[in-house]
Amino acid sequence: MADATYEELILDILYVDGRISKAKLIGILAGLVVFIIYLIYMIPYSLRAGPLPFLITVSICFFQIVLYYCICRFGGYLIRRFTN
């Protein structure tokens, strides 16, 4: 994957075997919901508190987005693996 272009990497986030993966799409939507919740409730308060709380909040938000994406992707893999 080291020689992949940006377009190939972006397509790998959403597509499986040339089609859109429902599990990956659900993971992206869950990550978007987490980001919006953080954007509305957590980030304004952490900006008022200072730069360190802001960076901690943003890093926790990023890890939660990645976690939900991976959980949905793994769930889609399990469903695809055991239903065939």
> Could you read off the pLDDT of 29-45 as tens digits, one per residue?
999 999 999 999 998 99
> Could you read off the pLDDT of 17-75 as tens digits, one per residue?
778 888 888 999 999 999 999 999 998 999 999 999 999 999 999 999 999 999 998 99
- In this structure, the number of other CB atoms found within 10 A of the CB of residue 69 comes to 20
